[in-house]
Amino acid sequence: GAVVSQHPSWVICKSGTSVKIECRSLDFQATTMFWYRQFPKQSLMLMATSNEGSKATYEQGVEKDKFLINHASLTLSTLTVTSAHPEDSSFYICSARAPRDHGEQFFGPGTRLTVL
Amino acid sequence: KNQVEQSPQSLIILEGKNCTLQCNYTVSPFSNLRWYKQDTGRGPVSLTIMTFSENTKSNGRYTATLDADTKQSSLHITASQLSDSASYICVVSGTDSWGKLQFGAGTQVVVTP
């Protein structure tokens, strides 16, 4: 089956620093990747849609200058949380859309970000 | 208003018992409906995916049904096990080219010994 990995699985950082999260599709090429944020006991909220070689499309209310997304290859997308603050602490999950299986999205294991 | 509503919000069942989770949606035009299982602190894992023409699909002890006319789906868990404790999320996809998914809030299932 399709496998999506994320790195790191968890990160703790100081307020004001930047954090980069990687999302990789391991056994398929994904022209489209998605970034989600999930707060405790809530469902996933789409932050942005990332297409390889083009600028990401951000959902309403998501600051594109704060959450930088780069999709430089068909297997890698990165999310950089710039100048992180405690309110950015959350569970960040990426997904990659497979070219088969009704374009099903396969989710990564998530990255737990804690900003002190 | 959320286009995907799930019920119940949470439930507790005894190991070995069956349970059924509900999902109602208003997403239109409809492409497909998926059920995911999400363990705490992990990403969602796909259980089933159904298109408009499919009424039921099974994956081991999980059986999903779909009534596209009434826009309702259910997920039935048979002979529950402790490892079934998780959040079950109903996700509906419309026919737009971006593949944007509409997520339900999830049903938190706790299986007790």
- The tens place of each residue's pLDDT in chain B, 113 residues long, gives 678 999 999 999 999 999 999 999 998 888 889 999 999 989 999 999 998 889 999 999 999 999 999 999 999 999 999 999 999 999 998 876 456 788 999 999 999 99
Q: For position A16, what pLDDT does the model report?
A: 96
Interchain contact B34–A (C-beta under 8 A) = yes
Mark which residues 73-112 of A lie under 8 Å from B by CB.
91, 93, 95, 97, 101-110, 112
Measured distance CA(A93)–CA(A38) in Å, rounded: 8
Q: What pLDDT is attached to residue B94?
A: 81
Q: Which of chain B's residues have a Cβ under 8 Å away from the Cβ of A95?
A: 43
Over residues A79-99, the mean pLDDT reads 94
Contact A91 B89 (CB under 8 A): no
Residue B93: closest CA among A34, A42, A86, A27 = A34
What's the CA gap between B5 and A106, in Å, rounded?
A: 22
Is A43's CB within 8 Å of B44's CB? no
Judged by average pLDDT, the poorest of A4-8, A49-53, B63-67 is A49-53
Per-residue pLDDT at A101 = 60
- What proportion of chain A, given as a percentage, has pLDDT over 90? 72
Expressed in percent and rounded to 5, the helix, strand and coil fractions of chain A are 5, 50, 45
Minimal Cβ distance to B41: which of A57, A105, A110: A110
User: B44 to chain A: which residues are within 8 Å by CB?
Assistant: 44, 93, 107
Look at phi and psi of residue B71 and say left if phi exceeds 0, alpha if psi is from -120 to 50, else beta: left
Residue type, B60: G
**Residues 6+ positions from B53 with CB-CB distance below 8 Å:** none
Position A112 scores a pLDDT of 96
pLDDT number for residue A45:
92
